[in-house]
Amino acid sequence: MEKFEKVSLNDLSVQDLLLIIKALEYTNENTKLNVFGDLRNNLVKELCFLTETTEEEFLSYIESKSE
């Protein structure tokens, strides 16, 4: 397997991205393992940085595009 250092979101749909975020939230809430909440928060934080939006704006946008 080739080593990789960066992950590209080019082929990830908005629906898939929302599903990943929601799955991390659900898993954190139901397992009480903070690593899932931390991963969700870090992912959203980086995506907000890249899109120059707030968390509320970003999540609202991807939820509206996933309907």
The stretch 2-13 carries a mean pLDDT of: 73
The stretch 51-65 carries a mean pLDDT of: 95
CB-based contact 7:46 (threshold 8 Å): no
Supply the pTM of this predicted model: 0.83
How crowded is residue 66: how many other Cβ atoms within 10 Å of its Cβ? 14
The pLDDT tens digits for 21-35 are 999 999 999 999 999
User: Does the pLDDT value for residue 60 go beyond 60?
Assistant: yes
Write down the domain spans for the chain: 14-65
User: Does the pLDDT value for residue 4 go beyond 70?
Assistant: no
pLDDT of residue 38: 98
User: Does the pLDDT value for residue 5 go beyond 90?
Assistant: no
Which residue type sits at 37? G
